[in-house]
Structure 1
Protein backbone atom coordinates (compact mmCIF):
# COMPACT_ATOMS: atom_id res chain seq x y z
CA UNK A 1 0.00 0.00 0.00
CA UNK A 2 0.97 3.64 -0.24
CA UNK A 3 1.83 4.34 -3.89
CA UNK A 4 -1.72 5.03 -5.04
CA UNK A 5 -3.04 6.91 -2.06
CA UNK A 6 -0.27 9.51 -2.12
CA UNK A 7 -1.54 10.59 -5.54
CA UNK A 8 -5.12 10.85 -4.36
CA UNK A 9 -4.73 12.65 -1.03
CA UNK A 10 -6.53 15.89 -1.91
CA UNK A 11 -6.74 17.98 1.23
CA UNK A 12 -4.86 19.09 4.28
CA UNK A 13 -6.09 17.22 7.34
CA UNK A 14 -7.13 18.80 10.59
CA UNK A 15 -7.74 17.26 13.99
CA UNK A 16 -8.87 18.79 17.22
CA UNK A 17 -6.39 18.18 20.02
CA UNK A 18 -8.01 17.23 23.32
CA UNK A 19 -5.84 18.95 25.91
CA UNK A 20 -7.30 19.21 29.45
CA UNK A 21 -5.33 22.35 30.29
CA UNK A 22 -6.12 24.05 26.96
CA UNK A 23 -6.52 27.83 27.25
CA UNK A 24 -8.52 28.70 24.16
CA UNK A 25 -7.77 32.42 24.42
CA UNK A 26 -4.08 31.60 24.10
CA UNK A 27 -4.43 28.91 21.42
CA UNK A 28 -6.62 31.02 19.10
CA UNK A 29 -5.75 34.57 18.05
CA UNK A 30 -7.92 36.69 15.72
CA UNK A 31 -6.60 40.12 14.67
CA UNK A 32 -8.83 42.69 12.95
CA UNK A 33 -6.64 45.27 11.21
CA UNK A 34 -7.80 48.44 9.46
CA UNK A 35 -5.68 50.90 7.49
CA UNK A 36 -2.38 49.70 8.92
CA UNK A 37 -3.49 50.11 12.54
CA UNK A 38 -3.34 47.32 15.08
CA UNK A 39 -1.10 45.54 17.50
CA UNK A 40 2.17 44.04 16.31
CA UNK A 41 1.96 40.36 15.49
CA UNK A 42 3.93 37.92 17.65
CA UNK A 43 6.33 35.30 16.33
CA UNK A 44 4.17 32.41 15.21
CA UNK A 45 4.60 29.01 16.77
CA UNK A 46 3.55 25.67 15.33
CA UNK A 47 0.02 25.99 14.03
CA UNK A 48 -2.11 27.37 11.21
CA UNK A 49 -1.98 30.95 9.92
CA UNK A 50 -4.75 32.47 7.79
CA UNK A 51 -4.49 36.00 6.36
CA UNK A 52 -7.32 37.61 4.37
CA UNK A 53 -6.22 40.90 2.79
CA UNK A 54 -8.92 43.51 2.14
CA UNK A 55 -6.60 46.48 1.64
CA UNK A 56 -2.92 47.37 1.29
CA UNK A 57 -0.67 44.32 1.46
CA UNK A 58 0.60 41.68 3.86
CA UNK A 59 4.33 41.07 3.48
CA UNK A 60 6.46 38.47 5.24
CA UNK A 61 8.80 35.56 4.66
CA UNK A 62 7.45 32.04 4.39
CA UNK A 63 10.07 29.35 4.81
CA UNK A 64 12.69 32.11 4.27
CA UNK A 65 11.21 33.15 0.89
CA UNK A 66 9.60 36.57 0.34
CA UNK A 67 5.81 36.45 0.35
CA UNK A 68 3.35 39.24 -0.41
CA UNK A 69 -0.44 39.24 -0.78
CA UNK A 70 -2.62 42.19 -1.75
CA UNK A 71 -6.29 43.16 -1.58
CA UNK A 72 -8.52 40.29 -2.65
CA UNK A 73 -6.05 37.52 -1.78
CA UNK A 74 -5.76 34.95 0.99
CA UNK A 75 -2.68 33.30 2.50
CA UNK A 76 -2.72 29.98 4.35
CA UNK A 77 0.52 28.68 5.81
CA UNK A 78 2.04 26.70 8.64
CA UNK A 79 2.57 29.33 11.30
CA UNK A 80 6.09 28.30 12.27
CA UNK A 81 7.28 28.99 8.70
CA UNK A 82 6.13 32.63 8.74
CA UNK A 83 8.70 35.22 9.84
CA UNK A 84 9.65 38.88 9.28
CA UNK A 85 6.10 40.25 9.01
CA UNK A 86 6.38 43.86 7.81
CA UNK A 87 4.83 46.64 9.85
CA UNK A 88 1.18 47.19 8.99
CA UNK A 89 1.80 50.94 9.01
CA UNK A 90 4.41 50.41 6.29
CA UNK A 91 2.18 48.18 4.13
CA UNK A 92 -1.15 49.86 5.06
CA UNK A 93 -2.59 46.39 5.57
CA UNK A 94 -6.29 45.90 6.21
CA UNK A 95 -7.89 42.54 6.80
CA UNK A 96 -8.03 39.59 9.15
CA UNK A 97 -5.18 37.53 10.60
CA UNK A 98 -6.07 34.26 12.32
CA UNK A 99 -3.57 32.06 14.11
CA UNK A 100 -4.55 28.68 15.57
CA UNK A 101 -1.94 26.98 17.73
CA UNK A 102 -1.19 23.28 17.33
CA UNK A 103 -2.20 23.10 20.96
CA UNK A 104 -5.76 23.36 19.67
CA UNK A 105 -5.76 22.23 16.04
CA UNK A 106 -3.15 19.98 14.44
CA UNK A 107 -2.51 21.01 10.87
CA UNK A 108 -0.82 19.83 7.73
CA UNK A 109 -1.08 23.18 5.99
CA UNK A 110 0.83 23.63 2.77
CA UNK A 111 1.45 27.18 1.56
CA UNK A 112 -1.57 28.45 -0.36
CA UNK A 113 -1.91 31.91 -1.91
CA UNK A 114 -4.91 32.60 -4.10
CA UNK A 115 -7.41 35.25 -5.15
CA UNK A 116 -10.55 35.37 -3.04
CA UNK A 117 -13.92 36.77 -4.13
CA UNK A 118 -15.96 39.33 -2.23
CA UNK A 119 -18.55 36.63 -1.55
CA UNK A 120 -15.89 34.35 -0.06
CA UNK A 121 -14.58 37.19 2.11
CA UNK A 122 -18.10 37.85 3.42
CA UNK A 123 -18.61 34.16 4.15
CA UNK A 124 -15.28 34.01 5.98
CA UNK A 125 -16.18 37.10 8.01
CA UNK A 126 -19.51 35.52 8.97
CA UNK A 127 -17.68 32.38 10.08
CA UNK A 128 -15.20 34.40 12.14
CA UNK A 129 -18.04 36.32 13.79
CA UNK A 130 -19.58 33.00 14.80
CA UNK A 131 -16.24 31.80 16.15
CA UNK A 132 -15.75 34.95 18.21
CA UNK A 133 -19.30 34.76 19.54
CA UNK A 134 -18.53 31.29 20.90
CA UNK A 135 -15.64 32.54 23.02
CA UNK A 136 -18.15 33.62 25.67
CA UNK A 137 -20.04 30.32 25.84
CA UNK A 138 -19.46 27.71 28.58
CA UNK A 139 -16.05 26.07 28.38
CA UNK A 140 -17.35 22.51 28.18
CA UNK A 141 -18.94 23.04 24.77
CA UNK A 142 -17.23 25.94 23.08
CA UNK A 143 -13.95 24.22 22.08
CA UNK A 144 -15.70 21.60 19.97
CA UNK A 145 -18.01 24.17 18.33
CA UNK A 146 -15.09 26.49 17.53
CA UNK A 147 -13.04 23.56 16.20
CA UNK A 148 -15.83 22.68 13.77
CA UNK A 149 -16.17 26.28 12.61
CA UNK A 150 -12.40 26.62 12.13
CA UNK A 151 -12.27 23.41 10.13
CA UNK A 152 -15.08 24.69 7.89
CA UNK A 153 -13.36 28.07 7.50
CA UNK A 154 -10.00 26.64 6.45
CA UNK A 155 -11.39 24.01 4.09
CA UNK A 156 -13.64 26.66 2.54
CA UNK A 157 -10.66 28.93 1.91
CA UNK A 158 -8.80 26.03 0.29
CA UNK A 159 -11.75 25.01 -1.88
CA UNK A 160 -10.89 26.74 -5.16
CA UNK A 161 -7.39 25.27 -5.06
CA UNK A 162 -8.85 21.79 -4.74
CA UNK A 163 -11.16 22.33 -7.69
CA UNK A 164 -8.10 23.15 -9.80
CA UNK A 165 -6.32 20.03 -8.55
CA UNK A 166 -9.26 17.84 -9.57
CA UNK A 167 -8.90 19.00 -13.17
CA UNK A 168 -5.11 18.94 -13.23
CA UNK A 169 -4.60 15.55 -11.62
CA UNK A 170 -7.63 13.93 -13.25
CA UNK A 171 -8.60 12.42 -9.90
CA UNK A 172 -12.25 11.34 -9.69
CA UNK A 173 -14.35 13.51 -7.36
CA UNK A 174 -15.30 10.27 -5.61
CA UNK A 175 -11.85 10.07 -4.01
CA UNK A 176 -11.95 13.67 -2.84
CA UNK A 177 -15.30 13.01 -1.16
CA UNK A 178 -13.96 9.80 0.36
CA UNK A 179 -10.84 11.53 1.69
CA UNK A 180 -12.95 14.24 3.31
CA UNK A 181 -15.08 11.59 5.00
CA UNK A 182 -12.06 9.63 6.25
CA UNK A 183 -10.49 12.82 7.61
CA UNK A 184 -13.67 13.20 9.69
CA UNK A 185 -14.53 9.62 10.68
CA UNK A 186 -11.07 7.96 10.41
CA UNK A 187 -10.96 4.26 11.34
CA UNK A 188 -14.48 3.18 10.36
CA UNK A 189 -15.65 0.10 8.39
CA UNK A 190 -15.86 0.15 4.60
CA UNK A 191 -19.65 -0.33 4.65
CA UNK A 192 -19.96 2.85 6.76
CA UNK A 193 -18.22 4.90 4.07
CA UNK A 194 -20.18 3.18 1.32
CA UNK A 195 -23.43 4.31 2.98
CA UNK A 196 -22.13 7.87 3.40
CA UNK A 197 -21.33 7.96 -0.34
CA UNK A 198 -24.70 6.46 -1.32
CA UNK A 199 -23.14 3.26 -2.68
CA UNK A 200 -23.52 -0.42 -1.99
CA UNK A 201 -20.46 -2.16 -0.56
CA UNK A 202 -19.69 -3.94 -3.87
CA UNK A 203 -20.02 -0.65 -5.82
CA UNK A 204 -17.74 1.11 -3.32
CA UNK A 205 -15.13 -1.63 -3.56
CA UNK A 206 -15.29 -1.64 -7.38
CA UNK A 207 -14.71 2.14 -7.57
CA UNK A 208 -11.65 1.89 -5.33
CA UNK A 209 -10.21 -0.97 -7.40
CA UNK A 210 -10.85 0.74 -10.75
CA UNK A 211 -8.70 3.75 -9.97
CA UNK A 212 -6.21 2.68 -7.29
CA UNK A 213 -5.94 -1.10 -7.73
CA UNK A 214 -6.68 -1.30 -3.99
CA UNK A 215 -9.72 -2.65 -2.20
CA UNK A 216 -11.85 -0.23 -0.19
CA UNK A 217 -10.54 -1.71 3.05
CA UNK A 218 -6.92 -1.25 1.89
CA UNK A 219 -7.58 2.32 0.72
CA UNK A 220 -9.15 3.34 4.03
CA UNK A 221 -6.39 1.63 6.04
CA UNK A 222 -3.67 3.31 3.99
CA UNK A 223 -5.23 6.73 4.45
CA UNK A 224 -5.65 6.29 8.22
CA UNK A 225 -2.07 5.00 8.40
CA UNK A 226 -0.86 8.25 6.79
CA UNK A 227 -2.77 10.17 9.45
CA UNK A 228 -1.30 8.04 12.23
CA UNK A 229 2.28 8.44 10.99
CA UNK A 230 1.77 12.17 10.56
CA UNK A 231 0.51 12.55 14.13
CA UNK A 232 3.33 10.42 15.53
CA UNK A 233 5.95 12.37 13.57
CA UNK A 234 4.67 15.93 13.95
CA UNK A 235 3.20 16.02 17.45
CA UNK A 236 3.99 15.10 21.00
CA UNK A 237 0.70 13.28 21.45
CA UNK A 238 0.82 9.88 23.14
CA UNK A 239 -0.26 6.79 21.15
CA UNK A 240 -3.27 6.50 23.46
CA UNK A 241 -4.40 10.01 22.46
CA UNK A 242 -3.81 9.31 18.77
CA UNK A 243 -5.79 6.08 19.03
CA UNK A 244 -8.83 8.01 20.28
CA UNK A 245 -8.44 10.73 17.65
CA UNK A 246 -8.37 8.16 14.85
CA UNK A 247 -11.45 6.28 16.03
CA UNK A 248 -9.89 3.19 17.62
CA UNK A 249 -11.59 1.73 20.68
CA UNK A 250 -8.36 1.74 22.70
CA UNK A 251 -4.58 1.95 22.44
CA UNK A 252 -4.09 -1.82 22.25
CA UNK A 253 -6.34 -2.10 19.19
CA UNK A 254 -4.52 0.79 17.54
CA UNK A 255 -1.08 -0.68 18.35
CA UNK A 256 -1.96 -4.11 16.92
CA UNK A 257 -3.40 -2.52 13.79
CA UNK A 258 -0.34 -0.29 13.33
CA UNK A 259 2.07 -3.17 13.84
CA UNK A 260 0.20 -5.36 11.34
CA UNK A 261 0.63 -2.69 8.66
CA UNK A 262 4.14 -1.46 9.46
CA UNK A 263 5.85 -4.22 11.45
CA UNK A 264 6.41 -1.80 14.34
CA UNK A 265 4.45 -0.55 17.33
CA UNK A 266 3.56 3.17 17.31
CA UNK A 267 6.01 3.88 20.13
CA UNK A 268 8.81 2.18 18.19
CA UNK A 269 8.00 3.93 14.91
CA UNK A 270 8.03 7.36 16.51
Structure 2
Protein backbone atom coordinates (compact mmCIF):
# COMPACT_ATOMS: atom_id res chain seq x y z
CA UNK A 1 0.00 0.00 0.00
CA UNK A 2 1.32 3.45 -0.95
CA UNK A 3 -0.47 6.49 0.48
CA UNK A 4 0.90 9.86 1.60
CA UNK A 5 -0.70 12.81 3.38
CA UNK A 6 0.55 16.41 3.17
CA UNK A 7 -0.90 19.33 5.18
CA UNK A 8 0.09 22.47 7.05
CA UNK A 9 1.18 20.18 9.89
CA UNK A 10 3.15 17.97 7.53
CA UNK A 11 4.30 20.06 4.52
CA UNK A 12 6.63 19.04 1.72
CA UNK A 13 10.28 19.56 2.71
CA UNK A 14 11.44 22.96 1.55
CA UNK A 15 14.18 21.54 -0.69
CA UNK A 16 11.74 19.13 -2.27
CA UNK A 17 9.29 21.93 -2.99
CA UNK A 18 11.96 24.21 -4.44
CA UNK A 19 13.18 21.48 -6.74
CA UNK A 20 9.73 20.79 -8.14
CA UNK A 21 8.26 24.29 -8.21
CA UNK A 22 7.21 25.39 -11.69
CA UNK A 23 8.63 22.22 -13.22
CA UNK A 24 6.10 20.10 -15.14
CA UNK A 25 6.00 16.52 -13.89
CA UNK A 26 3.90 13.59 -14.88
CA UNK A 27 1.90 12.27 -11.95
CA UNK A 28 2.52 8.66 -11.01
CA UNK A 29 -0.29 8.58 -8.44
CA UNK A 30 -3.74 10.00 -7.73
CA UNK A 31 -3.47 13.47 -6.20
CA UNK A 32 -6.26 15.10 -4.19
CA UNK A 33 -6.06 18.51 -2.50
CA UNK A 34 -8.69 20.19 -0.32
CA UNK A 35 -8.27 23.94 0.24
CA UNK A 36 -9.61 24.59 3.72
CA UNK A 37 -8.98 28.34 3.49
CA UNK A 38 -7.15 30.62 1.10
CA UNK A 39 -6.74 30.66 -2.67
CA UNK A 40 -4.21 28.91 -4.93
CA UNK A 41 -3.87 28.12 -8.64
CA UNK A 42 -2.71 24.76 -9.97
CA UNK A 43 -1.77 23.98 -13.56
CA UNK A 44 -3.03 20.63 -14.80
CA UNK A 45 -2.55 19.54 -18.39
CA UNK A 46 -1.83 23.13 -19.48
CA UNK A 47 -4.96 24.48 -17.75
CA UNK A 48 -4.89 26.86 -14.78
CA UNK A 49 -7.35 25.79 -12.07
CA UNK A 50 -7.95 28.19 -9.17
CA UNK A 51 -9.22 26.80 -5.87
CA UNK A 52 -10.59 28.70 -2.91
CA UNK A 53 -12.19 27.95 0.49
CA UNK A 54 -13.75 24.50 0.59
CA UNK A 55 -12.94 23.49 -2.98
CA UNK A 56 -11.16 20.31 -3.96
CA UNK A 57 -9.06 19.31 -6.95
CA UNK A 58 -8.22 15.77 -7.94
CA UNK A 59 -5.74 14.63 -10.58
CA UNK A 60 -5.07 11.25 -12.12
CA UNK A 61 -1.89 9.33 -12.92
CA UNK A 62 -0.18 10.46 -16.13
CA UNK A 63 -1.57 13.99 -16.04
CA UNK A 64 1.07 16.73 -16.28
CA UNK A 65 1.10 18.80 -13.12
CA UNK A 66 2.90 22.02 -12.21
CA UNK A 67 3.03 22.63 -8.44
CA UNK A 68 2.24 26.24 -7.49
CA UNK A 69 4.10 28.35 -5.00
CA UNK A 70 2.30 28.24 -1.65
CA UNK A 71 0.34 31.40 -0.94
CA UNK A 72 0.19 33.15 2.43
CA UNK A 73 -2.42 31.98 4.94
CA UNK A 74 -3.23 28.86 2.91
CA UNK A 75 -4.54 25.86 4.85
CA UNK A 76 -4.93 22.60 3.00
CA UNK A 77 -4.86 18.81 2.98
CA UNK A 78 -3.35 16.70 0.21
CA UNK A 79 -3.44 12.96 -0.20
CA UNK A 80 -1.60 10.86 -2.77
CA UNK A 81 -2.13 7.16 -3.43
CA UNK A 82 -1.29 4.77 -6.25
CA UNK A 83 -3.27 2.32 -8.37
CA UNK A 84 -2.25 -0.61 -6.17
CA UNK A 85 -3.73 1.10 -3.12
CA UNK A 86 -6.93 1.90 -5.02
CA UNK A 87 -7.23 -1.77 -6.00
CA UNK A 88 -7.36 -2.74 -2.31
CA UNK A 89 -10.59 -0.80 -1.73
CA UNK A 90 -13.90 -2.70 -1.69
CA UNK A 91 -15.63 -0.62 -4.38
CA UNK A 92 -14.98 1.41 -7.52
CA UNK A 93 -15.16 5.19 -7.78
CA UNK A 94 -16.30 6.32 -11.25
CA UNK A 95 -15.42 9.98 -10.61
CA UNK A 96 -11.74 9.03 -10.82
CA UNK A 97 -12.04 8.62 -14.59
CA UNK A 98 -13.67 12.09 -14.78
CA UNK A 99 -16.68 11.17 -16.93
CA UNK A 100 -18.19 14.65 -16.64
CA UNK A 101 -14.97 16.50 -17.51
CA UNK A 102 -14.50 18.49 -14.34
CA UNK A 103 -11.69 17.91 -11.87
CA UNK A 104 -12.86 20.26 -9.17
CA UNK A 105 -15.49 19.52 -6.54
CA UNK A 106 -17.43 21.95 -4.36
CA UNK A 107 -19.27 20.66 -1.30
CA UNK A 108 -22.33 21.71 0.65
CA UNK A 109 -21.59 22.66 4.26
CA UNK A 110 -22.35 19.25 5.75
CA UNK A 111 -20.28 17.34 3.19
CA UNK A 112 -17.39 19.79 3.54
CA UNK A 113 -17.23 19.17 7.29
CA UNK A 114 -17.30 15.40 6.81
CA UNK A 115 -14.58 15.51 4.13
CA UNK A 116 -12.38 17.75 6.28
CA UNK A 117 -12.84 15.43 9.25
CA UNK A 118 -11.76 12.42 7.20
CA UNK A 119 -8.69 14.30 5.96
CA UNK A 120 -7.82 15.17 9.57
CA UNK A 121 -8.18 11.54 10.63
CA UNK A 122 -5.97 10.31 7.77
CA UNK A 123 -3.45 13.01 8.65
CA UNK A 124 -3.45 11.87 12.27
CA UNK A 125 -3.10 8.20 11.34
CA UNK A 126 -0.28 8.65 8.84
CA UNK A 127 1.62 11.59 10.32
CA UNK A 128 0.78 12.45 13.93
CA UNK A 129 0.31 9.03 15.57
CA UNK A 130 3.55 7.53 16.87
CA UNK A 131 2.53 3.91 16.35
CA UNK A 132 1.75 2.29 13.00
CA UNK A 133 -1.94 1.83 12.24
CA UNK A 134 -3.39 -1.31 10.68
CA UNK A 135 -3.63 -1.15 6.91
CA UNK A 136 -7.33 -1.99 7.06
CA UNK A 137 -8.04 1.14 9.10
CA UNK A 138 -6.14 3.38 6.69
CA UNK A 139 -7.99 1.85 3.74
CA UNK A 140 -11.31 2.26 5.53
CA UNK A 141 -10.85 6.02 5.87
CA UNK A 142 -9.54 6.35 2.32
CA UNK A 143 -12.63 4.49 1.14
CA UNK A 144 -14.83 6.89 3.15
CA UNK A 145 -13.07 9.90 1.64
CA UNK A 146 -13.47 8.66 -1.94
CA UNK A 147 -17.11 7.76 -1.32
CA UNK A 148 -17.80 11.35 -0.25
CA UNK A 149 -15.96 12.72 -3.28
CA UNK A 150 -17.74 10.38 -5.69
CA UNK A 151 -21.13 11.46 -4.35
CA UNK A 152 -20.29 15.18 -4.46
CA UNK A 153 -18.80 14.91 -7.95
CA UNK A 154 -21.99 13.61 -9.50
CA UNK A 155 -24.23 15.80 -7.35
CA UNK A 156 -22.49 19.05 -8.31
CA UNK A 157 -21.27 18.43 -11.84
CA UNK A 158 -24.61 17.45 -13.36
CA UNK A 159 -27.97 15.95 -12.41
CA UNK A 160 -26.65 12.55 -13.43
CA UNK A 161 -27.28 9.23 -11.76
CA UNK A 162 -24.24 6.95 -11.79
CA UNK A 163 -26.63 4.02 -12.26
CA UNK A 164 -27.75 5.54 -15.55
CA UNK A 165 -26.77 2.94 -18.18
CA UNK A 166 -25.70 5.63 -20.64
CA UNK A 167 -23.28 7.13 -18.12
CA UNK A 168 -21.96 3.67 -17.32
CA UNK A 169 -21.31 3.09 -21.02
CA UNK A 170 -19.58 6.44 -21.31
CA UNK A 171 -17.29 5.52 -18.42
CA UNK A 172 -16.54 2.22 -20.19
CA UNK A 173 -15.80 4.19 -23.36
CA UNK A 174 -13.36 6.49 -21.52
CA UNK A 175 -11.59 3.51 -19.98
CA UNK A 176 -11.32 1.88 -23.39
CA UNK A 177 -9.84 5.06 -24.85
CA UNK A 178 -7.22 5.08 -22.10
CA UNK A 179 -6.44 1.39 -22.56
CA UNK A 180 -6.17 1.49 -26.36
CA UNK A 181 -4.96 5.05 -26.86
CA UNK A 182 -1.83 4.26 -28.87
CA UNK A 183 -3.42 1.52 -30.98
CA UNK A 184 -6.07 3.97 -32.20
CA UNK A 185 -8.96 1.54 -32.86
CA UNK A 186 -11.80 2.67 -35.11
CA UNK A 187 -15.09 3.93 -33.69
CA UNK A 188 -16.81 0.83 -35.06
CA UNK A 189 -14.39 -1.46 -33.22
CA UNK A 190 -14.92 0.44 -29.95
CA UNK A 191 -18.69 0.34 -30.36
CA UNK A 192 -18.59 -3.40 -30.97
CA UNK A 193 -16.49 -4.00 -27.85
CA UNK A 194 -19.03 -1.99 -25.83
CA UNK A 195 -21.97 -3.94 -27.34
CA UNK A 196 -23.30 -0.74 -28.91
CA UNK A 197 -24.11 0.38 -32.42
CA UNK A 198 -21.90 3.21 -33.75
CA UNK A 199 -24.96 5.51 -33.66
CA UNK A 200 -25.65 4.66 -30.01
CA UNK A 201 -22.02 5.26 -29.09
CA UNK A 202 -22.09 8.60 -30.90
CA UNK A 203 -25.22 9.67 -29.02
CA UNK A 204 -23.82 8.69 -25.61
CA UNK A 205 -20.42 10.33 -26.08
CA UNK A 206 -22.03 13.45 -27.51
CA UNK A 207 -24.33 13.63 -24.48
CA UNK A 208 -21.55 13.51 -21.88
CA UNK A 209 -18.53 14.96 -23.71
CA UNK A 210 -20.17 17.28 -26.24
CA UNK A 211 -18.09 15.84 -29.10
CA UNK A 212 -18.15 12.79 -31.34
CA UNK A 213 -16.30 9.58 -30.32
CA UNK A 214 -13.69 10.25 -33.01
CA UNK A 215 -13.10 13.81 -31.81
CA UNK A 216 -12.98 12.62 -28.20
CA UNK A 217 -10.29 10.10 -29.10
CA UNK A 218 -8.36 12.70 -31.09
CA UNK A 219 -8.54 15.26 -28.27
CA UNK A 220 -7.29 12.71 -25.76
CA UNK A 221 -4.45 11.70 -28.07
CA UNK A 222 -3.37 15.33 -28.45
CA UNK A 223 -3.45 15.82 -24.68
CA UNK A 224 -1.14 12.83 -24.37
CA UNK A 225 1.16 14.26 -27.06
CA UNK A 226 1.34 17.60 -25.20
CA UNK A 227 1.95 15.82 -21.90
CA UNK A 228 4.89 13.92 -23.37
CA UNK A 229 6.30 17.06 -24.97
CA UNK A 230 6.18 18.75 -21.57
CA UNK A 231 7.83 16.16 -19.40
CA UNK A 232 10.04 14.14 -21.76
CA UNK A 233 12.78 14.82 -24.30
CA UNK A 234 11.43 12.60 -27.07
CA UNK A 235 12.10 13.61 -30.64
CA UNK A 236 9.11 14.19 -32.92
CA UNK A 237 9.85 10.87 -34.62
CA UNK A 238 10.03 8.99 -31.29
CA UNK A 239 6.87 10.66 -30.04
CA UNK A 240 4.97 9.82 -33.21
CA UNK A 241 5.89 6.13 -32.97
CA UNK A 242 5.12 6.03 -29.24
CA UNK A 243 1.62 7.39 -29.90
CA UNK A 244 0.92 4.86 -32.63
CA UNK A 245 1.65 6.96 -35.74
CA UNK A 246 3.65 5.19 -38.44
CA UNK A 247 4.50 8.44 -40.26
CA UNK A 248 6.18 11.20 -38.18
CA UNK A 249 5.45 13.80 -40.86
CA UNK A 250 1.74 12.95 -40.77
CA UNK A 251 1.84 13.18 -36.97
CA UNK A 252 3.38 16.67 -37.19
CA UNK A 253 0.68 17.84 -39.59
CA UNK A 254 -2.02 16.22 -37.46
CA UNK A 255 -0.68 17.88 -34.29
CA UNK A 256 -0.73 21.32 -35.91
CA UNK A 257 -4.23 20.78 -37.32
CA UNK A 258 -5.58 19.78 -33.90
CA UNK A 259 -3.73 22.24 -31.65
CA UNK A 260 -3.14 25.17 -34.00
CA UNK A 261 0.61 25.01 -33.29
CA UNK A 262 3.50 23.10 -34.76
CA UNK A 263 5.37 20.77 -32.44
CA UNK A 264 8.38 23.11 -32.41
CA UNK A 265 6.19 26.14 -31.63
CA UNK A 266 4.51 24.26 -28.79
CA UNK A 267 7.87 23.28 -27.27
CA UNK A 268 9.17 26.86 -27.58
CA UNK A 269 6.03 28.18 -25.91
CA UNK A 270 6.52 25.84 -22.96
CA UNK A 271 10.17 26.83 -22.64
CA UNK A 272 9.33 30.54 -22.74
CA UNK A 273 6.60 30.20 -20.11
CA UNK A 274 8.94 28.43 -17.69
CA UNK A 275 11.52 31.22 -17.69
Fold-level match, TM-score > 0.5?
A: no
User: Which structure is richer in relative contact order (CA contacts within 8 A, separation 6 or more)?
Assistant: 1
**TM interval, short-chain normalised:** 0.3 to 0.5
Name the TM-score, length of structure 2 as normaliser: 0.43
